[in-house]
Structures are given as structure tokens and as C-alpha cells.
Chains A and B, each alone.
Chain A
């Protein structure tokens, strides 16, 4: 009896061992054949990225950016908006490359058509989605360029950097939370939100309007619309302001933040943010 048992045990051990051995060899060969050689630097770079997966760099998440950076062997043309300059410096140090200086950007709402400035003429009665409202009509205030106030941008923000101000009906961008991923820029059906240079001490000057209608028409709907009068153009000594289609635009690359243009704007359409209060005759600007 014992002998038979021993025999079965022996047979099992030997045969299973043999099968295991053969399988191991096959697996080894297959693994050699289909081996994926991955640059260990990709993991290294990914480690340094903020893991927000926001898509602000234009690629599908942080891993994709890391792969692209390692493949290109340089940091030129790559930017991680949430990480900013610091992260790029870190990556450069770890990889032993040169890192260019990246300018920190921030989302800026270029509309100041609050309920008070652009009083609603009709009532919108459908799902609160800007995409629907944009397809239906010019907006409660009547401005075909203005903010619709349904908050698609707020929903698109994955950093809690925006909220809807119930009183004004406009979204508010929080300076300290915005990482310039531009998700809101893509979401807005009217392209009201623009990525602009964050500026020294977070100071920014911009035309808070994108209305290209003639001055009179724009003004009829909104008291703070840019009417394309060109006064700011004459005031600017740095050629930073251009006037096209009845709309002034301040180039943030050229603007020196000299604060000459906001006071001359007859409709207070030019906003300055985070500046100290003016001593004489403070301009009545409403911070958006």
C-alpha cells in the first residue's frame, strides 16, 4: 500500500515539476521576446510632476507629459501650468538639462456684465448650461459676447479655483488656486476667459470686454462695454494696446503695468487687479 502511495507521490512531483520547468522556460522566452524597455527616467519625471492630470500641458495627463519630455530629451516647448517654473527647474536638475524660464499664467474673465451693469431684459428658462443658452439666444442682458452666467467654466475647473457669484451672475477666479490649466478657456462657448501673464505681484491690467459690436449697440446692452473709442490707445506709450473690430486689446507681453489707461476709459472697461489704491481720484474699477 505504502509503496503504491510513494509511487503516486513521486510521479506527481516529477511530472508537475517537469511541467513547471517547461512553463518557466516558455514564459522566460516569451518575456524576452516581448520585453518593453522603458526609460527609467519617465518614472523619475512623473514622480516630480504634480499628478493633477489636468491636461493643462495639452497632453493626456502627467504620465503622457513625462513620456513626451523624456522622448524629446529637453524641456523646450513643454510647460506644466499647475507646477509652474519650480517643477520644470526640478526636472531639469534631475535630468541635468537646462530649463527655460516659464512665465506663470492665470485665467482672466474678460466680461464685467454684472446684473447691475447689463440688466437682464428677458428671463432664461432652461437647463443652466452655457452651451444651451449660447445656442438659444444672445443672453439675458442682450450682449451676444457677454458671460451667460450658467457656470460651465466652474464645472470644468478641477482645482476649485472658480465659483459663481450669485449677485453679479459672473464667475470669480481665485488667484491663489488657479493653475492656468485652461480647462475653463476650452469650455466657455463664447471664449470670454483668456490666459494672461500673472504679472508682477499678481498685478494685471486688461480690457474686461470682448464685445465687437459698434459702441452704441454695445453700450445699449451693457454700461461697462468697450466701445472702441481708442482713448486708451492714445494714452499707451508702449504700443501695448491694439484696436480691432471696435474692441481694444492689451497685449500682456508689451504692457508695463504703468496704470495710465484705466482712468481714461469712459466706460471703465479696463480693469486693474491687485494694485494699491490710487491716491488722487481713484478709478471706479470693479474687480472681477
Chain B
């Protein structure tokens, strides 16, 4: 094997705790009812195209993303639309969602439910992008950026590399890991589709070497595809972040405030590649995803293939029920995820994991004074000064925050993790980012 690569600046090594890495993906039955939020992607929420009382089939379009950055949303179960109402989602606030009561499990005719692998296709780039858009595929890594938008390379720019993110650097999460092991061939076909849509002839899959089995598996599969190479990476958080991954794999730096296309790269998650395969060759909309349920106190940690809109509590029950001493239930990974304040929150396209922390694990250390150790500076993967950004935010010196490049912060949480004084640096910076963002928008009019 080649030498392992990694990014240079900053990074931390949180304990991995990948408890569910040996559990194969278990498909759950459709739940009794689902709540499908209208905003599961970055950008403008989709507009509903069904009404209360309508009968829908699984895979049927129920909300259309009309704006440029938006995505279609499909019914994940068959049944009757109970209502279109605001339900609490993972943001902690009520957002509009379509509630469907499940009746049977009938899928729309267009979907190929056969599990067999399709490798031959004769589609042009436009057709692939159209199918991705129609089937509502978004980035499955968590940021949920509509995938078809990434496929449209802006004029004057040229994509050279397609980078596939199989890093899964968040501790505890194993959804992508299992997907790579079990659906490796489908992912490979998905990557060829993405390459064709983008018009690139080189694709690199980056995988951290704590997933040696997945790395080996994909390396073997890639032998059949000369355009696709697989690269092992050193374990370091946050390697799964777009800019860090590009630096690690092709040694290019994305300029501040710019997109990866600036340096000729487009980054997609392995989960997205799988969704692209299903959307393009099986005509199956994005209506299911793999979610890891894990935690030290969980009886049966596992990876579950669930329908979008399934309540989180259903997933927890499938993993052996909610342990008694639960302190927090986290949506996402332990570094970037967010504690839920309601267990009926639906699984969305961006839900990669549900983590259960015990009372003791979830306790934050008491906040003490900054001791000027500068550890947050050394580990910040974007080269920012987290302590300074936090202080400037507190003092509402927003222009200085902007000069210190607060908007480059990707909220990876490394500073908060490393701080020996237990300062909630990231919380400060998040508030600062919101305020600076508002200031910039106001300035632009």
C-alpha cells in the first residue's frame, strides 16, 4: 500500500468509539407514520404538491424544489397524507412537514426494486444530472447540499478531479463504513455516473485507515475501473471536511470563501454516490438512508436502513430501546452533531447517526478562564484563532470578526474539544457567524 496521506494544518484525534462497525446494515420496516420535512437540504424549502387526504405511493413526488438551490422531496412510504403541519425537527424548532400515515408498502411503478447490480448504461451527462435532480439527491455527508447543483460546473471553471469522501472522520459513526463494505460495487458504478456527469476522467476515493477492510474492499473493486483510485488516509479529525480532504488527496488549497471547483475539484460523499446509482439506474428517489445508532449504553448498536421521516424513537427502539441513564440524544456525530430536544424528530436526508450519551458522558466540563495555552490555535484546521473570535463575538466587534475570517469556520468543534478550560468556543463562534452573516447581508442590501 502507498504511504498514507493527510492534511497539514491542525486537526485532533478524538477517541473513535466505532461500536457499530461490525454490524451489517439492517433494513427496518416502514414505520406507522412518517413526518417528512420540506426543508431537508441547504437552500430554499421545497413546495408541497400534495394535499391533505391524498393517497401517495412510496417514491411519489410530494414536494418540488423550484429554486436553483433546492431539492425534490418524495414520499418514503405509501399511505394517506394526514396533514401538512409544523413539527419539531432537529433544529429544535417547528418546521413545515408532510405527515403520512402508512398503509401497506406500495412503490411507484417506475422504481426498479430488483437488488441486482446494473453496470451498463447509455446516458449523457445532461440526462444523469436530470435524474439526480428529479430524484431529490442531496449530499449525504450531513451538509445536504443538492447534488445536481454540484454537477453543474460554472462557466469558465473546469473540474479535474472527482473526490469521493469515504473518510467518516466523526467518531462513533459507521454508516458510510458499512455502506462501502456492503454496497461497494454500487458505489463504484455511482462514481462512474458522477464522473460522466461532471466530465472528469479522474476520481479519488479517500478512506481513513481505521477502516482497513473497506479500504481493501474498494481497492480490489477499483482494479476494474482504471479511472478510479483509492487512497488511504491517516486518521485525523476533521479529514472528512471538503477543504481538508482536497488538501490531503491532491495537495491543493481552496481559497477563503471559495468553492472546491476553484481548484478543479468536486467532492461527494460515498453515500451520495450510492444514492446517485439508485437514482439514475434504478430510478429510485432518495427516500431511505443508513443511520448509525450507537452509544456505550445502547444494547444493540447498529446501522439501519430507514425511510426518511421515521421518528428517531423508532430507531432507538430498534437498537434496544432508550437506556435509563440517558443524558443526551445527539443527531449526527459527537463532534458536530446537535442534542435533540424531542425524540419524535424525523430522520432526514442528512441524518447520519443517532448517538445516545449517558448522563456522565454528556456532562460539559465547568467553564474556567482562558489560560492562553493557544491549543485552539494549533488545532484549528482552518488556521483561525478560536479564542479571539469568541471574544470578539462577545464584545460584538463584528467587523473585526469578519477580518479574522470568522466565516471560514466550518464548525468542526475541534477547538471546543481541545480547550482545557472547557470554554464553549464553538458556541460563541456560531453566534458570531450568524451575526456577521446578517451584517454582510444587510450591507449587500
Contact = CB atoms under 8 A, between A and B. Distances in A.
A126 B431 CA distance: 13
B17 interface: no
Interface size class of B (residues with CB under 8 A): 20 to 34
Interface string A214-240: 000100000000000000000000000
Given A129-B431, A132-B430, A135-B427, 5 more contacts: A127-B424, A132-B427, A135-B434, A136-B92, A138-B94
Interface string A119-160: 001100111010110011110001010000000000000000
A46 interface: no
A127 B367 contact: yes
A137 B341 contact: yes
B88 interface: yes
Interface string B407-431: 0000000000000000010011011
B427 A126 contact: yes
A213 B94 CA distance: 10
Interface string B325-338: 00010000000001
A144 B93 contact: yes
Nearest to A130: B431
B341 A121 contact: yes
A69 to B, nearest CB: 27
Nearest to A122: B341
Given A121-B341, A131-B431, A135-B431, A126 B92 contact: no
List the 8 closest A-B pairs by CB distance, nearest first.
A137-B92, A122-B341, A131-B431, A132-B427, A137-B341, A127-B424, A144-B93, A138-B92
B94 A127 contact: no
A152 B93 CA distance: 21
A126 B363 CA distance: 9
A127 B342 CA distance: 21
B362 interface: yes
Contacts of B395: none
Nearest to B94: A144
A135 B430 CA distance: 8
Interface residues of A, number: 16
B155 interface: no
A49 B347 CA distance: 59
A125 B362 contact: yes
Interface in B358-379: 362-364, 367
Contact of B93 (A121, A127, A138): A138
A111 B47 CA distance: 33
A127 B431 CA distance: 12
A179 B338 CA distance: 40
Contacts of A142: 341
Contacts of B342: 121-122
Contacts of A137: 91-93, 341
A68 to B, nearest CB: 23
Contacts of B338: 136
A131 B91 CA distance: 15
Contacts of A129: 427, 431
A217 B87 CA distance: 10
A135 B411 CA distance: 14
A213 B96 CA distance: 12
B386 to A, nearest CB: 15
A138 B93 CA distance: 5
A131 B328 CA distance: 21
B244 to A, nearest CB: 25
Nearest to B90: A137
Contacts of B367: 127
A129 B428 CA distance: 10
Interface string B232-255: 000000000000000000000000
Nearest to B432: A131
Nearest to B433: A135
Contact of B427 (A121, A127, A138, A144): A127
A146 to B, nearest CB: 12
A38 B342 CA distance: 63
20 contacts: A121-B342, A122-B341, A122-B342, A125-B362, A125-B363, A126-B424, A127-B424, A127-B427, A129-B427, A129-B431, A132-B424, A132-B427, A137-B93, A138-B93, A138-B94, A138-B341, A144-B93, A213-B86, A213-B94, A217-B86
Contacts of B91: 137
A144 B339 CA distance: 16
B225 to A, nearest CB: 44
Contact of B88 (A132, A136, A138): A138
B362 A132 contact: no
Nearest to B367: A127
A126 B328 CA distance: 13
Contacts of A122: 341-342
Contact of B364 (A125, A135, A217): A125
B245 to A, nearest CB: 27
B130 to A, nearest CB: 37
Contacts of A138: 88, 92-94, 341
A130 to B, nearest CB: 10
Contacts of A125: 328, 339, 362-364
Contacts of A131: 431
A162 to B, nearest CB: 19
Nearest to A132: B427
A217 B91 CA distance: 18
A127 B428 CA distance: 9
Contacts of B328: 125
A138 B86 CA distance: 13
A144 B434 CA distance: 18
Nearest to A189: B431
B364 A126 contact: yes
A91 to B, nearest CB: 31
B311 to A, nearest CB: 16
Contacts of B431: 129, 131-132, 135
Contacts of A217: 86, 94
A230 to B, nearest CB: 22
B416 to A, nearest CB: 11
A217 B367 CA distance: 36
